[in-house]
Amino acid sequence: MEFELFKEKLFVAALDKGFKDCEVFYSSGTALNLKVFDGELREYKNAGNAGLSFRGTYRNGKMGYAYTERLGEDIIPFLVENAAQNAEIIEDTDIEELFAGSSSYPQVKTWDESLAKLPVADKITIALKVESAARAADPRVKGVDWCGLATNEGEIRIANSLGLNLCKRENFAGVWSTPRVQGDDGQVKQQGDFWNGKDLALFDPTAFGRCTAECALSHLGAKSVSTGKYAIIFTGTAMSDLLDCFWSVFSAEQAQKGFSLLKGKIGTQVGSAALSIRDDPLLDQLPGSGAFDCEGVATKNKVIIENGVFRTFLHNRKTARKDGVEPTGNASKRSFKSSVAIGPRNLYIIPSAKTQAELLAEMSEGLLIDSLAGLHSGANPVSGDFSVSAEGYEVHGGKKGRAVEQITLASNFFMLLQDVVGVAADLEFKGNVSSPSVWVRELSVSGL
């Protein structure tokens, strides 16, 4: 059934059932995944998905939810009845209300027509060129175990009985390469990288493939270091992973539940003056960008930490009402099946004008960390404590030295924010949470 007709029939049935208001959230999309190996296309997947969630305020004042993967008139009674039953048993006492819409919405580019029209054959060629360039970079490259390209495109629609009616089309692409290299001593290393964006015409597959091989090769000869305290520079990739693990400390929902130590800290100094963090959904061409969140609230650019001072939590409408503030446009749904939560859009540490090389020169002695492992098992977002394995390089005299492995970094995220000495300019957006290279005064390192 066509979406508009389905929506109208559903709303009529819901209001007849006793719902005071109602809303639908519809998402549909297709995902293409290509994997290449040894000069051949080894995997091709092209799958579509679609679904709709329904929610509404039932006669008892509670919000009920239900969802379906099929739009058909026969499914409407099921949705209405399940949402009503859900509202009757829900124990959450916080008020959740539907939204009629913002007075205006920003213009954000989320769709690239050239990507949408790019033939599959061209995408396969790009992936094969990446692998070929990585394999040809050096005789020590023994293979590229993970190499491929993915594109996603989809549509999100939100409409409710209060008059809200919004639509967003989006698409993006990702390319990855993980070469396997072997040194003369038999040591084997795997390192890779990931690129994402919308305009594959700007992507250089040969340079990218060669770069991933060089990264893997640079880790050959890695050894551990003596246990002690070291000045640390995290590369953008490593710091992005760390920040992604702890972003929930900025969630108002987590704070209201007592799961963020930043609760009650707005307006206070929680980080060094060198640190500023922003969440900006208005940046064109990024996967996290968009003019509205999943409740239909207009998004906005906001500073979370400004020169070390905590300025705001991320809010949806329910948490904003509870704190007596305006929502920040960060209502989020992992899928159409999920209830409304909170999520970052494009959360990142604001870069400076300095290069990573300049940071290394200023630090002089320490470690450059470019890879972290075990974050989700070795980190506690509530306490901020983390203990994770890492790889990287020694830094002597401001220059990157031999590779380092088999070390463990232990610290506390909130202490780390206060110990930021400097930030580089090398910010790359590779997900909803990103960072440039960041210099931290001192961390405990366990090694030899």
Q: What is the pLDDT of residues 317-344, one digit of tens each?
A: 999 999 999 999 999 998 898 889 999 9
Alpha carbon distances (Å) from 152 to 112, 116, 169, 400: 11, 9, 11, 37
**Residue 158 pLDDT level (bands cut at 50, 70, 90):** very high
Residue ranges of E strands in 109-234: 141-160, 165-182, 188-190, 193-197, 228-234
What is the reported pTM? 0.94
Backbone angles phi, psi at 153, to 5 degrees: -145, 145
The 10 Å CB-count burial string (b at 16+, else e) for 193-227 is bebbbbebeebebeebbbbbbbbbbbbbebeebee
pLDDT for the residue 1: 83
**For residues 102 and 326, what is the distance between their CA atoms, to the nearest angstrom?**
12
The 10 Å CB-count burial string (b at 16+, else e) for 55-83 is bbbbeeebbbbbbbeebeeebbeebbebb
Interval 4-39: pLDDT, tens: 999 999 999 999 999 999 999 999 999 999 999 999
Nearest C-alpha neighbor of 233 from the set 358, 344, 326, 350:
358
Considering just the CA atoms, what is the radius of gyration of the chain in Å? 24
Backbone angles phi, psi at 100, to 5 degrees: -80, -15
| Mean pLDDT (the chain, rounded) | 96
Q: What percent of the chain has pLDDT over 90?
A: 94
**For residues 106 and 290, what is the distance between their CA atoms, to the nearest angstrom?**
8
Q: Which tokens belong to 107? A: 């213009």
**For residues 271 and 243, what is the distance between their CA atoms, to the nearest angstrom?**
14
pLDDT for the residue 95: 79
Average pLDDT over residues 54-82: 94
Q: Which tokens belong to 263? A: 């609760």
The 10 Å CB-count burial string (b at 16+, else e) for 239-259 is bbbbbbbbbbbbbbbbbbeee
3 state SS of 436: coil
- 80: pLDDT strictly greater than 90: yes
Q: Which tokens belong to 103? A: 């007075």
Q: Which of 61-65, 354-358, 438-442 has the lowest mean pLDDT?
A: 61-65
**Residue 71 pLDDT level (bands cut at 50, 70, 90):** very high
- 436: pLDDT strictly greater than 90: yes
Backbone angles phi, psi at 110, to 5 degrees: -120, 0
Residue 292, CA atoms < 13 Å, CB-side half-sphere:
22
Average pLDDT over residues 356-370: 98
**Residue 376 pLDDT level (bands cut at 50, 70, 90):** confident
- 287: pLDDT strictly greater than 90: no
Sign of CA dihedral 364, 366, 372, 375: negative
What are the residue ranges spanned by the domains of the chain?
Answer: 222-448
